Structure 1
């Protein structure tokens, strides 16, 4: 029995070392990969692959989160269920954090200006819907007031809309590969909807910074047919119905009422930050 206990203790020590090594390895790689990057600057292909490989190999155990944590208990409330954010590390080059979404929790459609973002679903099932801007076409007309798919009235709508192309509209279940979005590609505006309890490990390079113009902007979608500019003839492809499904108009809005993202202490393996 004594030998078995000693073997068990050695196994635990090896496991703890592995967990610390994984999260520290991620931090060290971020320091290297983002060292010469800045707003709008995408890391080189080798750096992208390095971070992706590390994240693909990580699980919830590497950062000390689990589905039975109290953050995932949904309380009866109006609006969105509360989402929890665990801060791991941040500097002017990158940030690392974990979003904990209870079932039906939603991170509404929002952007990542001038950022490269890595998102690793650690556990759970989540629906992701993501768009990229279509830069060569802009709206020049007001929304149709008779669109049954838009909840707000024509008077409440604004002209601050842009055309976007749907890039992702799928369910993802862990374990799955890391998703990567870029400043102008890969689904820079995305929405997360938790189907079950979910944990998402996020790496942003660079992080949001209002002072530098990297503000988190939220959006409301309008169906492609809600605007009558006739711009559909300028879009690629001949299938008009496909265009209606693949494109949408995104309107800038304030932070949605009822959205609550609160910080909580990160209690996983410690990261040793370097000067």
Structure 2
């Protein structure tokens, strides 16, 4: 059985159990360790991606800053791959009530994370209906293929932006997946000066906190689609 099939099978076990626990009223976090142990073994060759940054096939098609590779969609979790062109960035976005596992397969990325935002109740002239939030700054971390997975949870590092220092690819698991019917929409944010919503004195007191403005998806960020060419993932074996 291929490694990606084993990952998919463990993902089903992990997030199906989590869903059942939530349905029963539990707030306990899922046990991610068995899944993390498998994903940390993953290499670009395991999903038939070239690992040489000089190979043109590893960059998104056309001029897109990123490409999306759909590997598996399930009611309880999803698996995807992303290619990022050198110098491109995924804007700040969230994962409401979701867990995420991100494993870089080649290249180098910087992930800057924020913990879940709290809406700021304020009346700002000319705000054009935008909402503003305070979020804890969790800092920036470098990740390469040699790094362990980056992890996000509903309460920690749930928002992030990913910047590619080189042509890069990463493997991405989200559980449960985005679902507008269950209030798990993806929202985008832009960092703004604290003085946008606070006076100078209050802004100075907010050490380690960022002010984010919720926005639409930035038009300069979009993804093309690349076909998955790795070992088949048989949903009947999950």
Fold in common (TM above 0.5): yes
Rate the CA distance shift 1:42–1:271 in 2: closer, same or farther, 3 A.
farther
For residue 134 of structure 1, report the CA deviation from its aligned partner: 5.1
Compare the two structures and name the one with the higher helix fraction: 1
For residue 53 of structure 1, report the CA deviation from its aligned partner: 0.9
For residue 103 of structure 1, report the CA deviation from its aligned partner: 0.6
User: What secondary structure sits across from 1:221 in the alignment?
Assistant: strand
Aligned-residue RMSD, C-alpha:
2.6
| Contact kept? 2:105, 2:144, Cα under 8 Å | no
User: What secondary structure sits across from 1:37 in the alignment?
Assistant: helix
For residue 229 of structure 1, report the CA deviation from its aligned partner: 5.5
Residue correspondence of structure 1 range 3-152 to structure 2 within 5 A: 21-38=2-19, 43-44=29-30, 47-66=31-50, 67=53, 68-72=55-59, 81-133=64-116, 135=118, 138-140=120-122, 142=124
Rate the CA distance shift 1:42–1:89 in 2: closer, same or farther, 3 A.
farther
| Contact kept? 1:141, 1:228, Cα under 8 Å | no
- CA shift digits 1:118-144 (9 cap, x unpaired): 111111111111111354x734353xx
Runs of 4+ in 1 over 6 A off after TM superposition: none
- When Rg is computed on C-alpha atoms for both structures, the one with the higher figure is 1
For residue 226 of structure 1, report the CA deviation from its aligned partner: 3.1
Unaligned runs of 5+ in 1: 1-19, 143-153, 234-239
Q: Give the counterpart of 2:153 among 161, 182, 195.
A: 182
- CA shift digits 1:167-226 (9 cap, x unpaired): 1313322210101111121x1111111110111100000111122221111111112343
Q: Give the counterpart of 1:219 among 189, 203, 221.
A: 189
Rate the CA distance shift 1:227–1:253 in 2: closer, same or farther, 3 A.
same
TM-score (norm 1): 0.75
**Which whole-Å CA distance do the structure 2 matches of 1:260 and 1:72 have between them?**
14
Q: Which moved more, 1:113-122 or 1:59-68?
A: 59-68
TM-score (norm 2): 0.85
Unaligned runs of 5+ in 2: none
| Contact kept? 2:58, 2:83, Cα under 8 Å | yes
Rate the CA distance shift 1:251–1:73 in 2: closer, same or farther, 3 A.
closer
Q: Give the counterpart of 1:270 among 214, 228, 232.
A: 232
**Which whole-Å CA distance do the structure 2 matches of 1:160 and 1:166 have between them?**
18
**Pair 1:199 & 2:169 matched:** yes
